[in-house]
Every structure is written in C-alpha cells, then in structure tokens.
Amino acid sequence: MKKIFLSIGAVMAAVLVVVSAGCVTPSPNSSSPAGTPALPDQGRSAIPLPTVPAFGGTGGNQVAARGDTVAVYYTGTFENGTVFDSNMNATKPVEFELGNSSVIQGFEEAVTGMSAGQQKTVYIPAEKAYGKYNASLVRTVNRTGPIANTTFVEGKYYAIHDRTTNAVSAVKILRVTPTTVTWDANDPLADLNFTFTIKLVKITRP
C-alpha cells in the first residue's frame, strides 16, 4: 500500500549515510536520466484517460473534504495495465487525512468530494503522482568524510542524511568508484502515469 504514500522507505537499504556540507557536486552526466524504472509499454506520451464517473455512494450525505480522515480500498495500475499495488483484498482499508500531504496529490484530489460507498476510476499523471524525472537530482559525491568508508552497492537504495538541511532522502546508487559515488535522488516511480480504481468506505470528520 506504500505506493500511494509519499515515503519510499520500504525500498531503501537499511543504511543511513550522512552527507557533510559542501561535498555534493553536480554530476557531469546528470543530463542523462539514468535510473528510470524500465517498464514495458510505459507510453509516457499517452493521451490522458478520462475519469470514469463515480457510482454508488450515499447521495446527498456528506462528502470527503479537507481535514476528514478517509478509509479507502484501491487498485493502482501502470499504463500497460499491470497492477502494481492493491489493497482490495485486504481485511482493512487504508486510512489517511485529506489535506496533510500524506498521499500523492492526484490520489487525494480523486478522493475529495466522494461519499462513503462510492467507487471511481481516475487517471493520475506523473505531475500529480511522483513528479517528472529531474536530471539535476543525479549527483556525484566525493567519497570523503562520513562516506569515505561506506560500502555502496550499485542499484541499491540508501537513506541519505544531509547535515546542512537535516533532510533525509532516498537515493539509488548508479556508479561507484574509489573516489566518488553517483546517485539518483528521483523517486523510483518518477515520470510514470497511473490509473487508480478507488472505493471510499468511510469518512470520519473531526
């Protein structure tokens, strides 16, 4: 169920790397979008699919709005029709609060305005999911200081702690040399469009 949520911690290696101030420099080949997930027939330039009208629900009763806690079942698919995530057969729905940015923007917008019992299918473009691929997030770091003796494995994900901003982000290791490491801080699902079937089963208002 993590796919609708912003955190990608589940795909990271259990390693926290501390990055010192001033040791990160732009990668010389950062213009090449390396590391994009290789999915068959992704159709990145496909025409957006229409939203399928919602059905079911409780008619004139309350609809989900900002600040509400909602409980949903959903199925997410790639543009080639492959299901990448679903909780439709789970014993409990996923719950989250609308408006606190805990899920991707397009998913939150789709649930807003639904009533309990409604189900609909929506198309969510990359811009409202995990964003477009950003080549500037591919960077080369000198292997000095805190990461001098860290063992990096190409293709693995690591949690990176930046001392200057105190931010923690997930990066994919692209290339390792004795003196540098090149990583990609784009989300693994960046640049991808999705279709979600969503069923709203409960609305809890504060």
Q: Note whether 198 and 123 are same-domain residues.
A: yes
- What whole-number distance in Å separates Cα of residue 100 and Cα of residue 89? 26
Q: Note whether 98 and 109 are same-domain residues.
A: yes
Q: DSSP of 12-74, one letter per residue? A: S-S-EEEE-TT-EEE-TTTTS-TT----TT--TTPPPPPPEEEEES-TTS-B--TT-EEEEEE
Tokens in use for 1?
A: 């169920």
Domain that holds residue 10: 2-34+133-184
Flag whether 42 is in a domain. no
Number of domains in the chain: 2
Distance of CA 163 to the CA centre of its chain: 24
| Token pair 């409990």: residue | 92
Q: Kind of pairing, strands 16-19 and 157-162?
A: parallel
What pLDDT is attached to residue 53?
A: 44
- What whole-number distance in Å separates Cα of residue 33 and Cα of residue 169? 18
Q: Note whether 148 and 161 are same-domain residues.
A: yes
Q: Note whether 149 and 114 are same-domain residues.
A: no
* Mean pLDDT, 10 residues at a time, the chain of 206 residues: 46 42 33 30 32 44 92 95 93 94 94 96 96 95 86 90 81 94 93 96 93
> Residue 27's domain is classified under what CATH number?
2.40.240
Flag whether 40 is in a domain. no
